[in-house]
Structure 1
Amino acid sequence: MGMSDFSQRFLFDDSDVRGELVSLGESYTHVLAKHPYPEPVAQLLGEMLAAAALLVGTLKFEGLLILQARSSGAVPLLMVECSSERELRGIARYHADQVTADAGLRELMPEGMLTLTVDPRNGQRYQGIVALDGINLSACLSDYFATSEQLPTRFWLNADGRRARGMLLQQLPAERIKDAEARAASWQHVTVLAETLSAEEQLGLDNETLLHRLYHEEPLRLFDPQPLKFRCSCSRDRSAKALVSLGQQDAEQLLREHDGTVVIDCQFCNQRYSFDAADVAQLFAGGGVQTPSDTRH
């Protein structure tokens, strides 16, 4: 398989359970290249990228899924976005002097809360709140789905600074197995087997080998991979709209305070968008910003 970044769905033939696998390489590298993250922060960010890609695979919508975690600890902010087109970006804010080697979720994000937002292009926004009180992000997300009214869903997430992998199992509405007791036993069976998966196996094995190792006695179908990629949604136009939202008086005040040039930085990809006095005048005259002024560099 040539792709380094993809999701792949699988389905158990004899039970009402579906699964999803996510592999991130190049996109994860792009995210990490934008900031000098310490290893524990890079690993946590990779797990959240994989989680977002898995969650998008469970939803039928056009728009954006956003995971945003906040805490009082070494990592006060962690944010990942994945679009319905499977385009990813992510960022972490951290206090370098507070990040210790081998720190996990609880050490990095004490008193943490994760907000899960589904923002469709058409329709109503949905938000869910996840307490980051589990041993790791996988446990927190699994607990959230276990206590919500949604379909039971389990997560397995791992990242090592080079690769990020994720696996999801989700119980589907009763169709093949109608008996409640047999249905519960089937769900327990597939999840207990998944618990035997080590981090090394998840990060190192291809999907076919991984599924065979876990479920060689279970008939299942592995579907075609769906590509994932890094893409930042920032643009000069969006930056200009942010400037317009300040109003002309405040925008011109910013020009005076910054020697005639307002620079808007994208926190996700470090792209910089500069606007000089001619740009700002053109912008508020209704001329747009797609063609920068001759004086801008």
Structure 2
Amino acid sequence: MSELHKFIFEGLPVRGALVRLTGAWTEILARRQANSATGAWPPPVAELLGEMAAAGVLMQSNIKFNGALVLQVFGDGPVKVAVAEVQHDLALRVTAKVLGHVQPADRLPDLVNVHNKGRCAITLDPRDKLPGQQPYQGVVPLHGDHGEKLARLSDVLQHYMLQSEQLDTTLVLAADAKVAAGLLIQRLPAEGEGNLAGKANEDEIGLNEHYNRIATLASSLQRDELLELDADTVLRRLFWEERLMRFPAQAPRFACTCSRERVANMIRSLGREEAEGIVEEQGGIEVGCDFCGQQYRFDAVDAAQLFASPGDQPPVTSAVQ
């Protein structure tokens, strides 16, 4: 079962979270494999998406937000865009658009940042939008302050959190064909006049030292350990000298928000003329969900009803009891 474990370090402004996506991740890969129209993602793309899924769960779990967190990376490599979406209840889904050839050894710069023009976007999309309310989005480049390419997704997200949220963050991410996992350590903002004035006092210096020590321990976690060891073992090995307060585990899961109604609305947005043209050429309209592989088919009658006025709809009859 997929698990998310959140914890804090007692007496210190440092929090952490560890996620291991097992069943949720293998279901995503199995659905993609079973989709005859697409087939499985190349291993480097699947690894990137697994890391994005783990990172999305970690980031969503740290905010009080009733809506979707959408993590995207896009650029000029063979992967035009990769997306991980995590809902407030930790339901997640991922997809990617791959238009070029992917080599087995390709990593983030090769996949989406060939000419150093790649971007990472994090969007918070409220579930119940107020009139005129727009999603919040932050965008950062896939390079550091001096133009150097960032080699790992964790580097990009650490840079994002520091630049956009002013939060020191340490991330360790890994994924393979069975598990997508991640560890997050984050320094909470200091409070009080010293912080507001931008002055470091002795207490704050000490707290920085605590965060740096814990971040160093987290960074020592190896990829194989993160993928193979259970959460209790990982936390015990890394932080056996620290006092942890752990919260009840949560269970991320795969879930897709696609529906026939949403597809119908998309077809309506094309307009009657274009929809009728597709029906005439192909005999119907078939749309597949990029996230889960579900196929939706609208034949000529279905498509016509999408554009019929309410008065033109056939009457609904019901049996009399």
Relative to the length of structure 2, the TM-score reads 0.83
Specify the alignment match of 1:147 in structure 2.
Answer: 163
Q: Could you report, residue by residue, the CA deviation over 1:229-256 in whole angstroms, capped at 9, with x for unpaired residues?
A: 1111111000001111122232222211
Specify the alignment match of 1:164 in structure 2.
Answer: 180
- What is the distance in 1 between the residues matched to 2:202 and 2:232? 29
Q: Could you report, residue by residue, the CA deviation over 1:170-229 in whole angstroms, capped at 9, with x for unpaired residues?
A: 112336998221121111111011111111111111111111111111101121111111
The secondary structure found in structure 2 opposite 1:148 is helix
Specify the alignment match of 2:215 in structure 1.
Answer: 191
Specify the alignment match of 2:35 in structure 1.
Answer: none
- What is the distance in 1 between the residues matched to 2:266 and 2:111? 32
Specify the alignment match of 1:115 in structure 2.
Answer: 121
AA partner of residue 161 (structure 2): F
Specify the alignment match of 1:49 in structure 2.
Answer: 53
Give the conservation status (yes or no) of the 8 Å contact 2:71–2:120: yes
Specify the alignment match of 2:246 in structure 1.
Answer: 222
AA partner of residue 259 (structure 2): S
Give the conservation status (yes or no) of the 8 Å contact 1:31–1:91: no
Specify the alignment match of 1:90 in structure 2.
Answer: 94
The secondary structure found in structure 1 opposite 2:221 is coil
1:131-280 residue pairs with structure 2 within 5 A? 131-133=141-143, 134-174=150-190, 179-259=203-283, 261-280=284-303
> Could you tell me how far 1:95 is from its partner in structure 2?
4.3
- What is the distance in 2 between the residues matched to 1:149 and 1:203? 28
Moved more, 118-127 or 237-246: 118-127
Give the conservation status (yes or no) of the 8 Å contact 2:172–2:182: yes
1:100 and 2:100 aligned: no
Specify the alignment match of 1:130 in structure 2.
Answer: 140
Give the conservation status (yes or no) of the 8 Å contact 2:170–2:219: no
Specify the alignment match of 1:78 in structure 2.
Answer: 82
From the superposition, tell whether residues 204 and 64 of structure 1 become closer, same or farther in structure 2 (CA, over 3 Å).
same
> Could you tell me how far 1:286 is from its partner in structure 2?
4.6
Give the conservation status (yes or no) of the 8 Å contact 1:65–1:83: yes
> Could you tell me how far 1:144 is from its partner in structure 2?
1.4
Query: How many residues of Structure 1 are paired with residues of Structure 2 in the alignment?
Result: 284
Give the conservation status (yes or no) of the 8 Å contact 2:67–2:125: yes
- What is the distance in 1 between the residues matched to 2:59 and 2:233? 23
Q: Could you report, residue by residue, the CA deviation over 1:22-73 in whole angstroms, capped at 9, with x for unpaired residues?
A: 1111221122221411211111110011011111101111111111111211
1:284 and 2:307 aligned: yes
Give the conservation status (yes or no) of the 8 Å contact 2:119–2:139: yes
- What is the distance in 2 between the residues matched to 1:13 and 1:166? 22
- What is the distance in 2 between the residues matched to 1:95 and 1:42? 15
- What is the distance in 1 between the residues matched to 2:104 and 2:268? 44
- What is the distance in 2 between the residues matched to 1:149 and 1:178? 24
Give the conservation status (yes or no) of the 8 Å contact 1:50–1:166: yes
- What is the distance in 2 between the residues matched to 1:130 and 1:239? 31
Specify the alignment match of 1:295 in structure 2.
Answer: none
From the superposition, tell whether residues 124 and 153 of structure 1 become closer, same or farther in structure 2 (CA, over 3 Å).
farther
> Could you tell me how far 1:92 is from its partner in structure 2?
1.7
